[in-house]
């Protein structure tokens, strides 16, 4: 079978530990869905998978056509923008709480037993 080299992260072994530890995956838990860079595009992508949001987007686009315009353009956009904003804030807060829990779990002290 395969054998794994275990090097202590102490004193004069520090350089060797850093070199060898790059070869292995870390074991940190990550349950968050978003990062700061992908929050807005990913959240909008997920929200427009809902039929209701697509319907309101269709009404907004349809209202920009001069022949079909029923209301002012801004008034038609208000429900869609309001719903998208509220859901984005809710998703952001939920993801931030998951991030804090992940950070807390990843920083727990562990006991290592050796012979």
> Domain map of the chain by residue range?
29-107
Q: Please enumerate in sequence order all residues whose Cβ is within 8 A of that of 87, keeping only pairs 6 or more positions apart, or say none.
A: 43, 47
- Higher per-residue confidence, 54 vs 3: 54
Euclidean distance between CA atoms 21 and 49, whole angstroms: 41
Rounded distance, CA 2 to CA 51, Å?
A: 51
Mean pLDDT, residues 47-75 taken together: 86
Mean pLDDT score across all residues of the chain? 84
Higher pLDDT residue, 26 or 45? 45
Which pLDDT tens digit goes with each residue over 65-109? 888 777 777 888 888 999 999 999 999 999 999 999 999 988 888
pLDDT reported for residue 45: 95
Residue 112 has pLDDT above 90, yes or no: no
Is 10 or 83 the better-scoring residue by pLDDT?
Answer: 83
């Amino acid at each position: 079978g395969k054998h794994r080299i275990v090097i202590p992260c102490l004193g004069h072994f520090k350089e060797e530990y850093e070199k060898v530890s790059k070869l292995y995956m870390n074991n940190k838990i990550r349950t968050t869905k978003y990062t700061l860079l992908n929050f807005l595009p990913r959240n909008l992508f997920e929200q427009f998978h809902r039929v209701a949001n697509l319907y309101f987007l269709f009404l907004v686009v349809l209202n920009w056509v001069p022949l079909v315009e029923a209301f002012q353009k801004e008034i038609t956009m208000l429900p869609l923008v309001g719903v998208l904003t509220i859901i984005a804030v809710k998703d952001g807060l939920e993801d931030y709480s998951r991030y804090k829990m992940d950070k807390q779990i990843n920083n727990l002290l562990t006991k290592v037993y050796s012979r």
